[in-house]
A and B are shown apart, each in its own frame.
Chain A
């Protein structure tokens, strides 16, 4: 059973922030939130992960709610190359990664 719920698709205008939500209401205390993305016909690309605190790196920001039941991945200035399927995964650190359906993000010019 999927541990996360994501909208099947979203649109975003180029240059604007893309905010991708993820619900994980059954997350346990030692499970992390990971985000990956898959551009067509390529392997998934690691984006970011976090446990409790908000995280930021060169690709994106991850905002985790205080109760940890949901999170949002933020791409601050989306480009056409950010069009991809984005996967939110809740996992014990180092455990095998099980993929759900993800969110298909379309960035439009």
Chain B
């Protein structure tokens, strides 16, 4: 149980285009999901907290107009990178918090999405 998926697993796009990444909790409902990004040889950096039915909370220094987050259902959150530029190339990872059962409040992570902006 507690499986989180991401789609796509990797995407290459041209500079100036927008890219949407989906994060799904497959076997549990998640009122809260989190988005991270990771640059090569660095640790994960939290970008934002996504709450179902409300606005996301962004970490300091993360542009909310550039990284649009929508959490429209209890199993799906999306991250849209708008007007992507090469410096946005990174590994984007989501996580979802379990809301019931033995694993209550534990975060499970998706496999990540590798974004390359040309």
The residues of A with any CB-CB pair to B shorter than 8 Å are 34, 36, 38, 41-46, 49, 87, 93-94, 96-102
* B89 CB → nearest A CB, Å: 14
A44 to B34 Cα, complex, angstroms: 13
A96 to B49 Cα, complex, angstroms: 8
Main secondary structure of the interface of A (DSSP, over half): loop
Q: How many chain-B residues does the 8 Å CB contact rule pick out? A: 25
Task: Mark the stretch among B66-74, B77-85, B103-111 that contacts chain A.
Answer: B103-111
| A44 contact from B2, B44, B105, Cβ within 8 A | B44
With known contacts A96-B34, A97-B34, A97-B95, A46–B106 Cβ distance under 8 A = yes
A87 to B46 Cα, complex, angstroms: 14
Q: List 21 A-B contacts (CB under 8 A).
A: A36-B109, A41-B91, A41-B112, A42-B112, A43-B4, A43-B93, A43-B95, A43-B109, A43-B110, A44-B95, A44-B109, A46-B106, A94-B32, A94-B105, A96-B46, A96-B49, A97-B34, A99-B43, A99-B44, A100-B43, A102-B43
B109, A93: Cβ atoms under 8 Å?
Answer: no
A100 contacts which chain B residues (CB < 8 A)? 43
B111 contacts which chain A residues (CB < 8 A)? 42-43
A44 to B109 Cα, complex, angstroms: 6
* Residue among A42, A44, A45, A93 facing the most chain B CB atoms (10 A cut-off): A44
Instruction: Return the chain A residue nearest B95 by Cβ.
Output: A97
* B1 CB → nearest A CB, Å: 11
With known contacts A41-B112, A102-B43, A97–B107 Cβ distance under 8 A = yes
* A56 CB → nearest B CB, Å: 14
B24 contacts which chain A residues (CB < 8 A)? none
A34 to B107 Cα, complex, angstroms: 10
B46, A46: Cβ atoms under 8 Å?
Answer: no
Instruction: Return the chain B residue nearest A44 by Cβ.
Output: B109
Instruction: Return the chain B residue nearest A93 by Cβ.
Output: B105
B112, A43: Cβ atoms under 8 Å?
Answer: yes
